[in-house]
Structure 1
């Protein structure tokens, strides 16, 4: 249970959010996409060469070309697709600031005696003074989502239908970032540096809406025995501005798949494991689909499809449109494989313990255990 003072803060936060949601549905509501990222041609050289070590901005693979056509202010969301409902509810403005939030989830909060991650949780507060930092329990998460997604009931239906805590935890991180933005990081992670250092100084923050890192780069013939994708993006740490299209897309996919499986009465199978359903596999697929989406990128003038080859072996950040992709060292330092360097490397930003949580390694990879 939250202490009284913290409960007051939560109540104020929720009331403010509710007012913002009401305003979003007024007749003067803005278009779903207020300002598209600036248009630049695809950098052909970056598609075939490693990023410059002196200027990471030169690793820009391409900028979004055009936004999805904006919707007019519509009161009746029932006539819109789920993707468009989410765009209407939470518009994306790449030129806004990254919200100063740190979101984490666990069975208890730092106010509870049985909370086991005080050092990890404290590292995020230490490196992000002035940020709103919340550890949200399953009981609180339900109420948070009801507040933010009440106008889109299929989201709530899908969340409640998920049968495993790990599935709900995966879904929640995308939902909270879509609605509020900020940083999500698993409870068993340590912040090694402030998020202000994640984006290279040469890259304007007004041109970036999503920061992701590589989880796995298994350059070996048997990579499919251990990982779900040749390049796998991690989703234990994500930074985003509200409404980003990647989050909008993955929320739409998980919702549609969940409601389909609810109707069929099937959820986790060997063909659709947790990692594929809500985890890093679908996260990685959604990101690559965004990188190759003609709604956002000028694919006619592209040097080719963006694939894992554009990221394997990278040691410096790459910018793909409005997305910063960090090398494996940034969110996976010290793993002693796949080119990851140690915790004291300048590019090491987050340490992940991979222990003490309800999400074992067997649920992140496709090894023989599955």
Structure 2
């Protein structure tokens, strides 16, 4: 006997729900398998720190500006050495420290359409995230977190129209990045900030997916198919060129000042993402099976009081030898 209309509607509703869930997290899933190799800056293309003649021959697209952010002009002692290393190595660069007051005044003057969203962010780090995108879009230059010290001059990175750095376990980070003014990628970032602005109730997730590295990674993945030329391309600084090697550009100092207790759980999940993925899918499959079983039991119970035969009377569970048959109660 063919399945009932109710059963078909139940199956279609579940397929629709699964489809919507997969669509909503599809970009996040693809990030797990993104190695950034297609847009990586090859190590061979980066001259050695002492190869001044070769460095001087490189084109310069990104202006010589270093941007950093902090609440005020008083930089915490733990980051003063990192800040000084970048300033001392780049005396010919313009240096711009964006305090809370300067950042808000800039948004109010140049991007007043965003001011309400900016003011209403629940966590200060979200404003610190957002402002870096706006200043790179407006001025161009290189943004560097205060806990990223400079180990060598950044001149080779000026020869790209825009660059970000790869992070682990997947995606890209927003702690060091460079761009020409008005690059289409950063325009896409600005256009997406309000769309992604929602409170997920977990501080770490809210920050990461609203304005932080996870948000930037998703926008970057969505941007990739739109790239039509080298000028619109976003190049990726790989981990070996980022830090921990003699030729690397940056050295990481103690940071993560905004992290709360919930971050520990998120970090653990990031380190065990495959296990977490399997558990989540197993949990969803269990919910589906339980929902189907509950639907069938209710349908069969109601059919016992119907004058018509149950449309499930010829159906059987795969693990039942004789199948599940509704019981006709006699009175």
Band of TM-score, shorter chain = 0.5 to 0.7
Q: Please identify runs of 4+ aligned residues in structure 1 that moved more than 6 A.
A: 46-53
Alignment partners' CA distance in 1, 2:41 and 2:221: 19
Bigger radius of gyration among the two: 2
Alignment partners' CA distance in 1, 2:137 and 2:125: 19
Alignment correspondent of 1:143: 105
Q: Deviations over 1:232-290 (max 9, x none)?
A: 211100111111122111221112333xx4xxxx4544895321121111111111222
Q: Measured at CA, do residues 270 and 161 of structure 1 come closer, stay the same or move farther in structure 2, by a change above 3 Å?
A: closer
Instruction: Quote the RMSD (CA, aligned, Å).
Output: 3.5
1:172 to 131, 138, 144: 131
SS state at 2:146 partner: coil
Q: Measured at CA, do residues 246 and 52 of structure 1 come closer, stay the same or move farther in structure 2, by a change above 3 Å?
A: closer
Q: Is the 8 A contact 1:198 1:349 kept in 2?
A: no
In the alignment, is residue 285 of structure 1 matched against residue 218 of structure 2? yes
Count residues with an aligned counterpart: 224
Alignment partners' CA distance in 2, 1:49 and 1:277: 24
Q: Is the 8 A contact 1:191 1:349 kept in 2?
A: yes
Q: Deviations over 1:160-193 (max 9, x none)?
A: 1111011111111111111111111111110111
Q: Measured at CA, do residues 193 and 140 of structure 1 come closer, stay the same or move farther in structure 2, by a change above 3 Å?
A: same
| Length-normalised TM-score, structure 2 | 0.58
Q: Measured at CA, do residues 178 and 54 of structure 1 come closer, stay the same or move farther in structure 2, by a change above 3 Å?
A: closer
Alignment partners' CA distance in 2, 1:271 and 1:117: 23
Alignment partners' CA distance in 2, 1:179 and 1:100: 14
Alignment partners' CA distance in 2, 1:181 and 1:142: 18
Q: Is the 8 A contact 1:275 1:363 kept in 2?
A: no
SS state at 1:289 partner: helix
Q: Is the 8 A contact 1:343 1:351 kept in 2?
A: no
1:321 Cα deviation from its structure 2 partner: 5.7
Q: Measured at CA, do residues 359 and 101 of structure 1 come closer, stay the same or move farther in structure 2, by a change above 3 Å?
A: farther
In the alignment, is residue 125 of structure 1 matched against residue 87 of structure 2? yes
| Length-normalised TM-score, structure 1 | 0.52
Flag the structure with higher helix content: 2
Q: Deviations over 1:39-84 (max 9, x none)?
A: xxxxxxx97899876558xxxxxxxxxxxxxxxxxxxxxxxxxxxx
1:114 Cα deviation from its structure 2 partner: 5.7
In the alignment, is residue 329 of structure 1 matched against residue 240 of structure 2? yes
Q: Report which structure shows greater RCO (CA 8 Å, sep ≥6).
A: 1
In the alignment, is residue 353 of structure 1 matched against residue 284 of structure 2? no
